[in-house]
């Protein structure tokens, strides 16, 4: 993005909101390490022939569940249970009740490993500092679970450069629901939609929700060569 485009997109902006996972922190890499650790240390390793197959099964189903969760079609509790229960069901050797109990036990283990091993994407802290140096306030707007997201902020040091954190858990709706964006505006004290800018990696949640709420938006390309926070206008 050239300087003129950046100036146009940020002119009049007082709040810059950023998604957390795969926008500022390397969620993909951390999740992969956590899933492989569970494979190595839990009974999963005796059920799936390889860590790669286990990870592929989990990630595919988890992605599907998060899509449903973002639409409000399933509860958080269902997501956290079924993302483990479903990929294990085909290879499970016990009863359904035992499977349910094991899936529930895996959830806190996985989330703990996610929080413990969180790391920033390249350029993330520099981006936050640049936004603040330009005189704009910074906010986190995330669909992630409260306890995990706050721990990620603390461990990465982002809590020191973030003015406000708004999570889907706060009001029970997820991006791209415009109610979450309006809630963020209320919390910030800035009523003008055009004064808010959303930066995120997901066009169907981060960006679509922001634009529908009347915000400006910038799409992050986490796969771009050279930086985890290469951005393009949307």
Two tokens, residue 215:
């915000």
Q: Give the integer Cα–Cα distance in Å for 176 and 164.
A: 19
The active-site residue out of 19, 21, 22, 206 is: 19
- Determine phi and psi for 11, rounding to 5 degrees: -65, 125
Cα(4)–Cα(28) distance, integer angstroms: 32
Residue with tokens 């808010």, as numbered in its chain: 196
* Distance from the Cα of residue 107 to its chain's centroid: 17
- Number of C-beta neighbours around residue 203 at 10 A: 13
145: which 2 tokens? 């679970």
Closest CA to 85 of 50, 28, 47: 47
Would residue 19 show up in a list of annotated catalytic residues for this protein?
yes
C-alpha span between 47 and 8 (Å, rounded): 54
Q: Which of 39, 43, 33, 37 minimizes the C-alpha distance to 53?
A: 39
Residue 96: partners with Cβ closer than 8 Å, 6 or more residues away: none
Instruction: List, by residue number, the catalytic residues.
Output: 19
């Amino acid at each position: 993005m050239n300087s003129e485009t950046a100036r146009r997109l940020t002119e009049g902006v007082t709040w810059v909101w950023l998604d957390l996972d795969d926008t500022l922190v390397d969620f993909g890499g951390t999740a992969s390490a956590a899933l492989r650790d569970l494979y190595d240390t839990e009974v999963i390793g005796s059920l799936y022939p390889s860590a790669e197959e286990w990870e592929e099964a989990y990630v595919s189903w988890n992605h599907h569940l998060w899509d449903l969760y973002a639409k409000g079609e399933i509860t958080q509790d269902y997501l956290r249970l079924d993302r483990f229960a479903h990929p294990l069901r085909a290879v499970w050797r016990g009863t359904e009740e035992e499977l349910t109990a094991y899936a529930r036990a895996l959830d806190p283990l996985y989330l703990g490993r996610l929080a413990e091993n969180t790391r920033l994407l390249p350029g993330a802290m520099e981006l936050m500092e640049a936004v603040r140096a330009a005189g704009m306030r910074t906010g986190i707007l995330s669909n992630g679970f409260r306890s995990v997201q706050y721990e990620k902020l603390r461990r990465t040091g982002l809590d020191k450069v973030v003015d406000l954190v708004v999570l889907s858990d706060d009001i029970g709706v997820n991006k791209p629901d415009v109610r979450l964006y309006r809630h963020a505006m209320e919390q910030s004290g800035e009523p003008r939609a055009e004064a808010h800018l959303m930066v995120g990696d997901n066009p169907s949640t981060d960006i679509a929700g922001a634009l529908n709420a009347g915000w400006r938006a910038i799409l992050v390309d986490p796969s771009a060569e050279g930086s985890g926070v290469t951005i393009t206008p949307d």
